[in-house]
Structure 1
Amino acid sequence: MATADRADPAKWPKARVRDDLVLADLQTVLAAGWQDFRAESGFGLFFGGIYLVSGWFLTWVTLVRGDVAWLVPAAAGFPLLAPFCAVGLYEISRRRAARLPLSWGAVLGALRGRGDEQILSVGVILFVGFGFWLMIGHGIFAVFLAESGIGSESLALFDTTAGWLMLVVGSSVGAAIAFFFYAMTVISLPMLVDRNVDFLTAIFTSFSAIKANQVVMTAWAAIVAASLTAALLPAFLGLLVVLPVLGHATWHLYRIVVLPEPAPVLVSPPVLPAA
Protein backbone atom coordinates (compact mmCIF):
# COMPACT_ATOMS: atom_id res chain seq x y z
CA MET A 1 0.00 0.00 0.00
CA ALA A 2 1.35 3.41 -0.88
CA THR A 3 2.35 5.78 1.91
CA ALA A 4 -0.28 8.29 0.85
CA ASP A 5 -2.96 5.62 1.08
CA ARG A 6 -1.92 4.79 4.66
CA ALA A 7 -2.73 8.36 5.69
CA ASP A 8 -6.33 7.89 4.60
CA PRO A 9 -8.29 5.49 6.87
CA ALA A 10 -10.94 5.08 4.17
CA LYS A 11 -8.34 3.32 2.02
CA TRP A 12 -7.15 0.89 4.69
CA PRO A 13 -8.02 -2.76 3.91
CA LYS A 14 -10.90 -4.02 6.04
CA ALA A 15 -10.29 -7.49 7.49
CA ARG A 16 -13.15 -9.82 8.35
CA VAL A 17 -13.03 -12.03 11.45
CA ARG A 18 -14.86 -15.21 12.34
CA ASP A 19 -17.25 -15.21 15.27
CA ASP A 20 -17.71 -18.97 15.67
CA LEU A 21 -14.47 -20.15 17.27
CA VAL A 22 -14.78 -23.02 19.75
CA LEU A 23 -12.46 -24.15 22.52
CA ALA A 24 -11.40 -27.15 20.45
CA ASP A 25 -9.76 -24.71 18.03
CA LEU A 26 -7.22 -23.87 20.74
CA GLN A 27 -6.15 -27.50 20.93
CA THR A 28 -5.75 -27.46 17.16
CA VAL A 29 -3.52 -24.37 17.14
CA LEU A 30 -1.40 -25.68 20.02
CA ALA A 31 -0.81 -28.91 18.13
CA ALA A 32 0.14 -26.93 15.03
CA GLY A 33 2.46 -24.74 17.09
CA TRP A 34 4.19 -27.79 18.52
CA GLN A 35 4.66 -29.19 15.01
CA ASP A 36 6.25 -25.95 13.82
CA PHE A 37 8.57 -25.91 16.83
CA ARG A 38 9.65 -29.50 16.30
CA ALA A 39 10.25 -28.91 12.60
CA GLU A 40 12.30 -25.74 13.14
CA SER A 41 13.50 -26.11 16.72
CA GLY A 42 16.76 -24.26 16.03
CA PHE A 43 14.89 -21.05 15.27
CA GLY A 44 12.55 -21.58 18.21
CA LEU A 45 15.36 -22.16 20.70
CA PHE A 46 17.12 -19.05 19.40
CA PHE A 47 14.13 -16.77 20.07
CA GLY A 48 13.34 -18.50 23.34
CA GLY A 49 16.99 -18.10 24.33
CA ILE A 50 16.88 -14.34 23.71
CA TYR A 51 13.91 -14.06 26.04
CA LEU A 52 15.63 -16.35 28.58
CA VAL A 53 18.84 -14.29 28.66
CA SER A 54 16.82 -11.06 28.83
CA GLY A 55 14.97 -12.42 31.87
CA TRP A 56 18.23 -13.36 33.56
CA PHE A 57 19.68 -9.93 32.86
CA LEU A 58 16.59 -8.13 34.14
CA THR A 59 16.61 -10.18 37.34
CA TRP A 60 20.36 -9.67 37.85
CA VAL A 61 20.08 -5.91 37.44
CA THR A 62 17.27 -5.59 39.97
CA LEU A 63 18.95 -7.87 42.51
CA VAL A 64 22.36 -6.19 42.16
CA ARG A 65 20.68 -2.86 42.84
CA GLY A 66 19.26 -4.43 46.01
CA ASP A 67 15.81 -3.03 45.27
CA VAL A 68 13.15 -5.74 45.26
CA ALA A 69 10.59 -3.03 44.54
CA TRP A 70 11.67 -3.15 40.90
CA LEU A 71 12.00 -6.95 40.68
CA VAL A 72 8.35 -7.80 41.23
CA PRO A 73 6.78 -5.44 38.64
CA ALA A 74 9.58 -6.23 36.19
CA ALA A 75 8.97 -9.98 36.44
CA ALA A 76 5.18 -9.51 36.28
CA GLY A 77 5.33 -7.19 33.27
CA PHE A 78 8.04 -9.05 31.40
CA PRO A 79 5.52 -11.21 29.43
CA LEU A 80 4.07 -8.01 27.92
CA LEU A 81 7.04 -8.02 25.53
CA ALA A 82 6.51 -11.63 24.40
CA PRO A 83 4.29 -10.84 21.39
CA PHE A 84 6.88 -8.53 19.86
CA CYS A 85 9.63 -11.08 20.50
CA ALA A 86 7.51 -13.69 18.70
CA VAL A 87 7.41 -11.85 15.35
CA GLY A 88 10.22 -14.02 13.99
CA LEU A 89 8.25 -17.10 14.99
CA TYR A 90 5.22 -15.83 13.06
CA GLU A 91 7.42 -15.50 9.99
CA ILE A 92 8.66 -19.08 10.39
CA SER A 93 5.10 -20.41 10.54
CA ARG A 94 4.08 -18.23 7.61
CA ARG A 95 6.91 -19.53 5.47
CA ARG A 96 6.28 -23.13 6.44
CA ALA A 97 2.60 -22.83 5.52
CA ALA A 98 3.46 -21.19 2.18
CA ARG A 99 6.32 -23.68 1.56
CA LEU A 100 8.79 -20.83 1.26
CA PRO A 101 12.49 -21.29 2.03
CA LEU A 102 13.66 -20.46 5.54
CA SER A 103 16.77 -18.45 6.25
CA TRP A 104 18.04 -16.39 9.15
CA GLY A 105 17.95 -13.27 7.02
CA ALA A 106 14.28 -13.74 6.15
CA VAL A 107 13.25 -14.63 9.70
CA LEU A 108 15.15 -11.84 11.43
CA GLY A 109 14.09 -9.43 8.71
CA ALA A 110 10.46 -9.96 9.75
CA LEU A 111 10.98 -7.40 12.51
CA ARG A 112 11.22 -4.74 9.81
CA GLY A 113 7.81 -5.76 8.56
CA ARG A 114 7.29 -4.86 4.92
CA GLY A 115 9.69 -1.97 5.05
CA ASP A 116 7.09 0.46 6.38
CA GLU A 117 7.87 0.27 10.13
CA GLN A 118 4.35 -0.85 11.02
CA ILE A 119 5.58 -3.70 13.26
CA LEU A 120 8.13 -1.42 14.89
CA SER A 121 5.32 1.03 15.67
CA VAL A 122 3.50 -1.67 17.63
CA GLY A 123 6.78 -2.58 19.30
CA VAL A 124 7.22 0.98 20.49
CA ILE A 125 3.72 0.91 21.98
CA LEU A 126 4.55 -2.32 23.81
CA PHE A 127 7.81 -1.00 25.24
CA VAL A 128 6.09 2.20 26.37
CA GLY A 129 3.37 0.07 27.96
CA PHE A 130 6.00 -2.01 29.73
CA GLY A 131 7.60 1.14 31.12
CA PHE A 132 4.17 2.45 32.17
CA TRP A 133 3.48 -0.81 34.03
CA LEU A 134 6.89 -0.65 35.76
CA MET A 135 6.03 2.78 37.16
CA ILE A 136 2.57 1.66 38.31
CA GLY A 137 3.91 -1.58 39.78
CA HIS A 138 6.69 0.24 41.60
CA GLY A 139 4.15 2.70 42.99
CA ILE A 140 1.94 -0.12 44.29
CA PHE A 141 4.98 -1.78 45.84
CA ALA A 142 6.03 1.46 47.55
CA VAL A 143 2.59 1.99 49.09
CA PHE A 144 2.49 -1.43 50.73
CA LEU A 145 6.19 -1.32 51.55
CA ALA A 146 5.60 1.77 53.69
CA GLU A 147 2.82 -0.06 55.56
CA SER A 148 5.01 -3.09 56.27
CA GLY A 149 7.95 -1.12 57.69
CA ILE A 150 10.41 -3.48 55.94
CA GLY A 151 13.29 -2.30 53.78
CA SER A 152 12.95 -2.55 50.01
CA GLU A 153 16.02 -4.80 49.83
CA SER A 154 14.35 -7.54 51.89
CA LEU A 155 12.20 -10.38 50.60
CA ALA A 156 10.67 -10.66 54.07
CA LEU A 157 7.98 -8.30 52.83
CA PHE A 158 6.20 -11.27 51.25
CA ASP A 159 5.74 -12.87 54.67
CA THR A 160 3.62 -9.95 55.87
CA THR A 161 -0.04 -9.09 55.41
CA ALA A 162 0.96 -5.96 53.50
CA GLY A 163 3.09 -8.10 51.21
CA TRP A 164 0.23 -10.44 50.36
CA LEU A 165 -2.13 -7.51 49.79
CA MET A 166 0.47 -5.95 47.51
CA LEU A 167 0.59 -9.14 45.45
CA VAL A 168 -3.21 -9.25 45.15
CA VAL A 169 -3.56 -5.59 44.14
CA GLY A 170 -0.52 -5.64 41.87
CA SER A 171 -1.59 -8.87 40.19
CA SER A 172 -5.08 -7.50 39.54
CA VAL A 173 -3.81 -4.25 38.03
CA GLY A 174 -1.12 -6.08 36.07
CA ALA A 175 -3.64 -8.59 34.73
CA ALA A 176 -5.88 -5.79 33.44
CA ILE A 177 -2.97 -4.07 31.70
CA ALA A 178 -1.66 -7.35 30.30
CA PHE A 179 -5.08 -8.28 28.88
CA PHE A 180 -5.35 -4.93 27.14
CA PHE A 181 -2.02 -5.39 25.42
CA TYR A 182 -2.88 -9.01 24.66
CA ALA A 183 -6.10 -7.89 22.98
CA MET A 184 -4.16 -5.29 21.02
CA THR A 185 -1.41 -7.60 19.74
CA VAL A 186 -2.66 -11.21 19.62
CA ILE A 187 -3.96 -10.78 16.07
CA SER A 188 -2.36 -7.51 14.97
CA LEU A 189 1.28 -8.64 14.96
CA PRO A 190 0.71 -11.87 13.00
CA MET A 191 -1.47 -9.88 10.63
CA LEU A 192 1.28 -7.31 10.04
CA VAL A 193 3.68 -10.14 9.22
CA ASP A 194 1.19 -11.65 6.80
CA ARG A 195 -0.56 -8.70 5.15
CA ASN A 196 0.22 -5.25 3.89
CA VAL A 197 -1.97 -3.29 6.30
CA ASP A 198 -1.61 -0.29 8.56
CA PHE A 199 -0.81 -1.05 12.20
CA LEU A 200 -4.00 0.69 13.33
CA THR A 201 -6.07 -1.51 11.02
CA ALA A 202 -4.30 -4.57 12.45
CA ILE A 203 -4.95 -3.43 16.03
CA PHE A 204 -8.63 -2.77 15.32
CA THR A 205 -8.88 -6.23 13.76
CA SER A 206 -7.34 -7.73 16.88
CA PHE A 207 -9.89 -6.01 19.11
CA SER A 208 -12.67 -7.16 16.77
CA ALA A 209 -11.47 -10.76 17.03
CA ILE A 210 -11.57 -10.54 20.84
CA LYS A 211 -15.06 -9.03 20.81
CA ALA A 212 -16.42 -11.59 18.35
CA ASN A 213 -14.97 -14.60 20.22
CA GLN A 214 -14.83 -13.48 23.84
CA VAL A 215 -14.88 -16.90 25.50
CA VAL A 216 -12.31 -18.56 23.25
CA MET A 217 -9.95 -15.59 23.04
CA THR A 218 -10.11 -15.07 26.82
CA ALA A 219 -9.37 -18.76 27.28
CA TRP A 220 -6.34 -18.37 24.99
CA ALA A 221 -5.17 -15.42 27.09
CA ALA A 222 -5.44 -17.59 30.20
CA ILE A 223 -3.47 -20.39 28.53
CA VAL A 224 -0.74 -17.97 27.45
CA ALA A 225 -0.55 -16.33 30.89
CA ALA A 226 -0.48 -19.65 32.77
CA SER A 227 2.09 -21.15 30.40
CA LEU A 228 4.43 -18.15 30.55
CA THR A 229 4.12 -17.96 34.34
CA ALA A 230 4.98 -21.64 34.68
CA ALA A 231 7.88 -21.17 32.26
CA LEU A 232 9.30 -18.35 34.42
CA LEU A 233 9.47 -20.41 37.59
CA PRO A 234 12.47 -22.69 36.81
CA ALA A 235 14.89 -19.75 36.30
CA PHE A 236 13.11 -18.77 33.07
CA LEU A 237 14.30 -22.03 31.44
CA GLY A 238 10.81 -23.06 30.39
CA LEU A 239 10.75 -20.14 27.98
CA LEU A 240 13.08 -22.05 25.65
CA VAL A 241 10.14 -24.24 24.64
CA VAL A 242 6.99 -22.47 25.85
CA LEU A 243 7.63 -19.16 24.09
CA PRO A 244 8.24 -20.59 20.59
CA VAL A 245 5.33 -23.05 20.83
CA LEU A 246 2.95 -20.28 21.92
CA GLY A 247 4.32 -18.00 19.20
CA HIS A 248 3.74 -20.53 16.46
CA ALA A 249 0.31 -21.40 17.90
CA THR A 250 -0.69 -17.73 17.93
CA TRP A 251 0.12 -17.54 14.24
CA HIS A 252 -2.23 -20.45 13.54
CA LEU A 253 -4.90 -18.84 15.72
CA TYR A 254 -4.64 -15.69 13.61
CA ARG A 255 -5.01 -17.77 10.46
CA ILE A 256 -8.28 -19.33 11.58
CA VAL A 257 -9.86 -16.23 13.12
CA VAL A 258 -9.13 -13.71 10.34
CA LEU A 259 -10.81 -14.64 7.09
CA PRO A 260 -8.75 -14.71 3.89
CA GLU A 261 -8.55 -11.57 1.85
CA PRO A 262 -11.15 -11.54 -0.93
CA ALA A 263 -9.78 -12.07 -4.40
CA PRO A 264 -9.58 -8.87 -6.43
CA VAL A 265 -12.46 -8.31 -8.79
CA LEU A 266 -11.30 -7.78 -12.33
CA VAL A 267 -13.51 -5.41 -14.27
CA SER A 268 -13.35 -5.75 -18.01
CA PRO A 269 -13.31 -2.50 -19.99
CA PRO A 270 -16.57 -1.68 -21.75
CA VAL A 271 -16.86 -2.96 -25.27
CA LEU A 272 -17.44 -0.08 -27.64
CA PRO A 273 -19.80 -0.65 -30.54
CA ALA A 274 -18.17 -0.97 -33.91
CA ALA A 275 -18.13 2.19 -35.94
Structure 2
Amino acid sequence: MVTTTGIDQHVEPPPVEVASDLRLGDLGGALAAGFADFRAHPIYGLFFAAIYVGTGIFLYFALVEWGQAEWLIPATAGFPLIAPFTAVGLYEVSRRREAGLPIGWGAVLGALKGHGDQQIMLMGGIVFVAFSFWMIVAHGIFAIFMAESGVGSESIEMLATDAGLAMLAVGSIVGGLMALAFYAITVMSLPMLVDRETDFLSAIFASLKAIRDNRFVLLVWAAIIAIALFVAMVPAFLGLLVVLPVLGHATWHLYRRTVTAGAAS
Protein backbone atom coordinates (compact mmCIF):
# COMPACT_ATOMS: atom_id res chain seq x y z
CA MET A 1 0.00 0.00 0.00
CA VAL A 2 1.30 3.48 -0.90
CA THR A 3 -0.14 6.60 0.71
CA THR A 4 -0.49 9.69 -1.45
CA THR A 5 -2.11 12.85 -0.01
CA GLY A 6 -3.69 10.74 2.69
CA ILE A 7 -5.30 8.26 0.28
CA ASP A 8 -4.27 4.62 0.22
CA GLN A 9 -3.54 3.38 -3.27
CA HIS A 10 -3.16 -0.33 -3.95
CA VAL A 11 -0.01 -1.15 -5.90
CA GLU A 12 -0.86 -3.72 -8.54
CA PRO A 13 1.69 -6.50 -9.06
CA PRO A 14 3.44 -6.53 -12.43
CA PRO A 15 1.67 -8.49 -15.17
CA VAL A 16 2.78 -12.01 -15.95
CA GLU A 17 4.36 -13.42 -19.05
CA VAL A 18 3.79 -17.06 -19.97
CA ALA A 19 6.58 -18.84 -21.81
CA SER A 20 5.71 -20.62 -25.03
CA ASP A 21 8.99 -22.48 -25.51
CA LEU A 22 8.89 -25.30 -22.96
CA ARG A 23 10.86 -28.39 -23.93
CA LEU A 24 10.83 -31.95 -22.65
CA GLY A 25 14.19 -31.27 -21.04
CA ASP A 26 12.49 -28.74 -18.77
CA LEU A 27 10.45 -31.58 -17.27
CA GLY A 28 13.60 -33.47 -16.37
CA GLY A 29 15.09 -30.31 -14.89
CA ALA A 30 11.95 -29.69 -12.83
CA LEU A 31 11.96 -33.26 -11.50
CA ALA A 32 15.64 -33.00 -10.55
CA ALA A 33 15.04 -29.68 -8.77
CA GLY A 34 11.96 -31.10 -7.07
CA PHE A 35 13.88 -34.10 -5.79
CA ALA A 36 16.61 -31.76 -4.50
CA ASP A 37 13.99 -29.74 -2.58
CA PHE A 38 12.54 -32.91 -1.08
CA ARG A 39 15.98 -34.12 0.00
CA ALA A 40 16.79 -30.73 1.52
CA HIS A 41 13.55 -30.48 3.52
CA PRO A 42 11.93 -33.94 3.62
CA ILE A 43 9.89 -33.35 6.77
CA TYR A 44 7.47 -31.01 5.02
CA GLY A 45 6.97 -33.31 2.06
CA LEU A 46 6.41 -36.30 4.32
CA PHE A 47 3.95 -34.31 6.45
CA PHE A 48 1.70 -33.25 3.55
CA ALA A 49 2.02 -36.62 1.83
CA ALA A 50 1.12 -38.40 5.08
CA ILE A 51 -2.12 -36.41 5.28
CA TYR A 52 -2.93 -37.43 1.71
CA VAL A 53 -2.01 -41.06 2.33
CA GLY A 54 -3.90 -41.19 5.63
CA THR A 55 -7.00 -39.77 3.97
CA GLY A 56 -6.79 -42.38 1.22
CA ILE A 57 -6.42 -45.27 3.66
CA PHE A 58 -9.29 -43.96 5.80
CA LEU A 59 -11.47 -43.59 2.71
CA TYR A 60 -10.73 -47.17 1.66
CA PHE A 61 -11.57 -48.76 5.01
CA ALA A 62 -14.58 -46.49 5.57
CA LEU A 63 -16.16 -47.47 2.25
CA VAL A 64 -15.54 -51.17 2.90
CA GLU A 65 -16.90 -50.91 6.45
CA TRP A 66 -20.01 -49.06 5.27
CA GLY A 67 -20.65 -51.65 2.57
CA GLN A 68 -20.08 -49.10 -0.19
CA ALA A 69 -17.35 -50.99 -2.05
CA GLU A 70 -18.74 -49.81 -5.40
CA TRP A 71 -17.42 -46.33 -4.57
CA LEU A 72 -13.82 -47.56 -4.29
CA ILE A 73 -12.99 -47.34 -7.99
CA PRO A 74 -14.33 -43.80 -8.55
CA ALA A 75 -12.81 -42.65 -5.25
CA THR A 76 -9.41 -44.06 -6.20
CA ALA A 77 -9.64 -42.63 -9.71
CA GLY A 78 -10.71 -39.20 -8.46
CA PHE A 79 -8.34 -39.02 -5.51
CA PRO A 80 -5.49 -37.48 -7.55
CA LEU A 81 -7.72 -34.46 -8.18
CA ILE A 82 -6.97 -33.38 -4.62
CA ALA A 83 -3.20 -33.67 -5.03
CA PRO A 84 -2.55 -30.14 -6.39
CA PHE A 85 -4.21 -28.51 -3.37
CA THR A 86 -2.26 -30.80 -1.02
CA ALA A 87 0.94 -29.52 -2.65
CA VAL A 88 0.37 -25.84 -1.77
CA GLY A 89 2.63 -26.12 1.28
CA LEU A 90 5.29 -27.76 -0.87
CA TYR A 91 5.20 -24.83 -3.29
CA GLU A 92 5.95 -22.52 -0.37
CA VAL A 93 8.91 -24.66 0.72
CA SER A 94 10.35 -24.52 -2.81
CA ARG A 95 9.64 -20.78 -3.09
CA ARG A 96 11.43 -20.02 0.16
CA ARG A 97 14.38 -22.29 -0.60
CA GLU A 98 14.77 -20.68 -4.02
CA ALA A 99 14.63 -17.17 -2.52
CA GLY A 100 16.94 -18.02 0.38
CA LEU A 101 14.22 -17.29 2.93
CA PRO A 102 13.90 -19.08 6.28
CA ILE A 103 11.63 -22.12 6.21
CA GLY A 104 9.44 -22.89 9.18
CA TRP A 105 6.10 -24.50 9.94
CA GLY A 106 4.37 -21.16 10.44
CA ALA A 107 5.32 -19.92 6.99
CA VAL A 108 4.65 -23.24 5.25
CA LEU A 109 1.25 -23.81 6.81
CA GLY A 110 0.44 -20.14 6.39
CA ALA A 111 0.76 -20.57 2.63
CA LEU A 112 -2.63 -22.30 2.70
CA LYS A 113 -4.15 -18.91 3.50
CA GLY A 114 -2.46 -17.33 0.50
CA HIS A 115 -1.78 -13.61 0.78
CA GLY A 116 -4.69 -13.01 3.13
CA ASP A 117 -7.15 -12.67 0.27
CA GLN A 118 -8.71 -16.17 0.45
CA GLN A 119 -7.88 -16.88 -3.20
CA ILE A 120 -6.28 -20.24 -2.42
CA MET A 121 -9.27 -21.14 -0.26
CA LEU A 122 -11.52 -20.37 -3.23
CA MET A 123 -9.40 -22.73 -5.35
CA GLY A 124 -9.77 -25.30 -2.58
CA GLY A 125 -13.52 -24.96 -2.94
CA ILE A 126 -13.19 -25.64 -6.66
CA VAL A 127 -11.13 -28.75 -5.85
CA PHE A 128 -13.79 -30.02 -3.46
CA VAL A 129 -16.61 -29.37 -5.93
CA ALA A 130 -14.67 -31.07 -8.74
CA PHE A 131 -14.02 -34.18 -6.65
CA SER A 132 -17.65 -34.32 -5.48
CA PHE A 133 -18.93 -33.88 -9.03
CA TRP A 134 -16.67 -36.66 -10.27
CA MET A 135 -17.96 -39.01 -7.56
CA ILE A 136 -21.57 -38.27 -8.56
CA VAL A 137 -20.82 -38.77 -12.27
CA ALA A 138 -18.85 -41.97 -11.60
CA HIS A 139 -21.62 -43.43 -9.47
CA GLY A 140 -24.11 -42.56 -12.21
CA ILE A 141 -21.98 -44.43 -14.74
CA PHE A 142 -21.81 -47.38 -12.34
CA ALA A 143 -25.58 -47.40 -11.92
CA ILE A 144 -26.21 -47.26 -15.67
CA PHE A 145 -23.96 -50.18 -16.56
CA MET A 146 -24.29 -52.40 -13.51
CA ALA A 147 -27.98 -52.12 -12.61
CA GLU A 148 -28.92 -55.04 -14.86
CA SER A 149 -25.68 -57.00 -14.66
CA GLY A 150 -26.93 -59.37 -11.98
CA VAL A 151 -23.55 -59.28 -10.22
CA GLY A 152 -23.24 -57.87 -6.72
CA SER A 153 -21.59 -54.48 -6.59
CA GLU A 154 -19.41 -55.65 -3.72
CA SER A 155 -17.82 -58.37 -5.87
CA ILE A 156 -14.69 -57.82 -7.90
CA GLU A 157 -16.22 -60.23 -10.42
CA MET A 158 -18.42 -57.41 -11.65
CA LEU A 159 -15.42 -55.89 -13.43
CA ALA A 160 -14.96 -59.01 -15.56
CA THR A 161 -18.48 -58.89 -17.00
CA ASP A 162 -19.32 -57.16 -20.27
CA ALA A 163 -21.14 -54.48 -18.31
CA GLY A 164 -18.17 -54.08 -15.98
CA LEU A 165 -15.70 -53.67 -18.83
CA ALA A 166 -17.98 -51.18 -20.55
CA MET A 167 -18.30 -49.26 -17.28
CA LEU A 168 -14.53 -49.10 -16.89
CA ALA A 169 -14.09 -47.93 -20.47
CA VAL A 170 -16.68 -45.16 -20.28
CA GLY A 171 -15.63 -44.17 -16.77
CA SER A 172 -12.00 -43.94 -17.83
CA ILE A 173 -12.82 -41.70 -20.77
CA VAL A 174 -15.11 -39.39 -18.80
CA GLY A 175 -12.76 -39.34 -15.80
CA GLY A 176 -9.77 -38.68 -18.01
CA LEU A 177 -11.43 -35.70 -19.67
CA MET A 178 -12.47 -34.26 -16.31
CA ALA A 179 -9.01 -34.78 -14.86
CA LEU A 180 -7.41 -33.12 -17.88
CA ALA A 181 -9.68 -30.09 -17.56
CA PHE A 182 -8.91 -29.83 -13.87
CA TYR A 183 -5.19 -30.19 -14.50
CA ALA A 184 -5.35 -27.39 -17.08
CA ILE A 185 -6.79 -24.90 -14.64
CA THR A 186 -4.60 -25.81 -11.64
CA VAL A 187 -1.14 -26.75 -12.91
CA MET A 188 0.07 -23.15 -12.98
CA SER A 189 -2.65 -21.36 -11.03
CA LEU A 190 -2.02 -22.84 -7.58
CA PRO A 191 1.74 -22.15 -7.51
CA MET A 192 0.99 -18.72 -8.97
CA LEU A 193 -1.40 -17.95 -6.08
CA VAL A 194 1.35 -18.93 -3.64
CA ASP A 195 3.89 -16.80 -5.49
CA ARG A 196 1.91 -13.66 -6.30
CA GLU A 197 -0.91 -11.46 -5.06
CA THR A 198 -3.48 -12.10 -7.75
CA ASP A 199 -7.04 -13.37 -8.05
CA PHE A 200 -7.80 -16.98 -8.80
CA LEU A 201 -9.45 -16.21 -12.15
CA SER A 202 -6.31 -14.46 -13.43
CA ALA A 203 -4.26 -17.41 -12.21
CA ILE A 204 -6.56 -19.86 -14.01
CA PHE A 205 -6.31 -17.85 -17.24
CA ALA A 206 -2.51 -17.90 -16.99
CA SER A 207 -2.62 -21.68 -16.47
CA LEU A 208 -4.85 -22.17 -19.51
CA LYS A 209 -2.55 -19.95 -21.60
CA ALA A 210 0.43 -22.04 -20.52
CA ILE A 211 -1.39 -25.19 -21.66
CA ARG A 212 -2.37 -23.59 -24.97
CA ASP A 213 1.15 -22.37 -25.75
CA ASN A 214 2.99 -25.49 -24.53
CA ARG A 215 0.40 -28.15 -25.28
CA PHE A 216 2.66 -31.12 -26.00
CA VAL A 217 5.12 -30.64 -23.12
CA LEU A 218 2.45 -29.97 -20.51
CA LEU A 219 0.38 -32.93 -21.70
CA VAL A 220 3.47 -35.08 -21.22
CA TRP A 221 3.79 -33.61 -17.74
CA ALA A 222 0.14 -34.49 -17.06
CA ALA A 223 0.83 -38.07 -18.16
CA ILE A 224 3.91 -38.27 -15.90
CA ILE A 225 1.88 -37.04 -12.93
CA ALA A 226 -1.02 -39.42 -13.60
CA ILE A 227 1.18 -42.50 -14.07
CA ALA A 228 3.41 -41.68 -11.09
CA LEU A 229 0.44 -41.09 -8.76
CA PHE A 230 -1.41 -44.25 -9.76
CA VAL A 231 1.71 -46.41 -9.50
CA ALA A 232 2.51 -44.87 -6.10
CA MET A 233 -1.03 -45.61 -4.87
CA VAL A 234 -0.74 -49.35 -5.55
CA PRO A 235 1.28 -50.30 -2.43
CA ALA A 236 -1.39 -49.11 0.05
CA PHE A 237 -0.82 -45.49 -1.02
CA LEU A 238 2.63 -45.60 0.61
CA GLY A 239 4.54 -44.75 -2.55
CA LEU A 240 2.89 -41.33 -2.38
CA LEU A 241 5.08 -40.45 0.60
CA VAL A 242 7.89 -39.83 -1.86
CA VAL A 243 6.16 -39.33 -5.20
CA LEU A 244 3.74 -36.62 -4.08
CA PRO A 245 6.40 -34.31 -2.53
CA VAL A 246 8.75 -34.68 -5.50
CA LEU A 247 5.96 -33.93 -7.97
CA GLY A 248 4.79 -30.99 -5.86
CA HIS A 249 8.22 -29.41 -5.66
CA ALA A 250 8.83 -30.16 -9.35
CA THR A 251 5.58 -28.45 -10.34
CA TRP A 252 6.80 -25.31 -8.57
CA HIS A 253 9.99 -25.29 -10.61
CA LEU A 254 8.05 -25.91 -13.83
CA TYR A 255 5.80 -22.98 -12.92
CA ARG A 256 8.86 -20.76 -12.37
CA ARG A 257 10.17 -21.77 -15.79
CA THR A 258 6.80 -21.03 -17.38
CA VAL A 259 5.31 -17.98 -15.63
CA THR A 260 7.41 -14.89 -14.95
CA ALA A 261 6.69 -11.29 -14.05
CA GLY A 262 6.60 -9.01 -17.06
CA ALA A 263 7.35 -5.34 -17.22
CA ALA A 264 4.69 -3.11 -15.73
CA SER A 265 2.71 -1.33 -18.37
Superposition TM-score, scaled by structure 1 size: 0.90
**1:101 partner SS:** coil
Residue 146 of structure 1 is matched in structure 2 by: 147
Aligned partners of 1:118 and 1:13: how far apart in 2? 18
Residue 192 of structure 1 is matched in structure 2 by: 193
1:68 positional shift: 2.2
Query: Residues 12 and 259 from structure 1, CA distance in 2 versus in 1: closer, same or farther, beyond 3 angstroms?
Result: closer
For residues 161-240 of structure 1, the aligned pairs below 5 Å read 161-240=162-241
For residues 70-81 of structure 1, the aligned pairs below 5 Å read 70-81=71-82
Question: Which range moves more in the overlay, 132-141 or 65-74?
Answer: 65-74
Query: Residues 5 and 253 from structure 1, CA distance in 2 versus in 1: closer, same or farther, beyond 3 angstroms?
Result: farther
Count of aligned positions: 259
Unaligned stretches of 5+ residues in structure 2: 3-7
Question: Which range moves more in the overlay, 103-112 or 152-161?
Answer: 152-161
1:66 positional shift: 1.5
Residue 127 of structure 2 is matched in structure 1 by: 126
Aligned partners of 2:128 and 2:157: how far apart in 1? 31
Aligned partners of 2:69 and 2:161: how far apart in 1? 15
Aligned partners of 1:33 and 1:225: how far apart in 2? 17
1:13 positional shift: 5.5
Aligned partners of 2:148 and 2:24: how far apart in 1? 44
Aligned partners of 2:233 and 2:67: how far apart in 1? 21
**Alpha-carbon contact 1:68-1:155 (below 8 Å) kept:** no
1:259 positional shift: 2.2
For residues 224-263 of structure 1, the aligned pairs below 5 Å read 224-262=225-263
**Alpha-carbon contact 2:186-2:207 (below 8 Å) kept:** yes
1:35 has 2:36 as partner? yes
Instruction: Output the amino acid matched with 1:202.
Output: A
**1:148 partner SS:** coil
Query: Residues 181 and 53 from structure 1, CA distance in 2 versus in 1: closer, same or farther, beyond 3 angstroms?
Result: same
**1:259 partner SS:** strand
| RMSD, aligned α-carbons | 1.9
How much identity, in percent, do the aligned residues show? 58
**Alpha-carbon contact 2:14-2:262 (below 8 Å) kept:** no
Richer in strand (by share): 2
**Alpha-carbon contact 2:49-2:245 (below 8 Å) kept:** yes
Structure of higher CA gyration radius: 1
**Alpha-carbon contact 2:114-2:193 (below 8 Å) kept:** yes
Residue 99 of structure 1 is matched in structure 2 by: 100
For residues 40-59 of structure 1, the aligned pairs below 5 Å read 40-59=41-60
Aligned partners of 1:91 and 1:225: how far apart in 2? 23
1:164 positional shift: 1.4
**Alpha-carbon contact 2:13-2:197 (below 8 Å) kept:** no
Residue 270 of structure 1 is matched in structure 2 by: none
Superposition TM-score, scaled by structure 2 size: 0.94
**Alpha-carbon contact 2:85-2:190 (below 8 Å) kept:** yes
**2:260 partner SS:** coil
Aligned partners of 2:109 and 2:123: how far apart in 1? 17
1:5 positional shift: 9.5
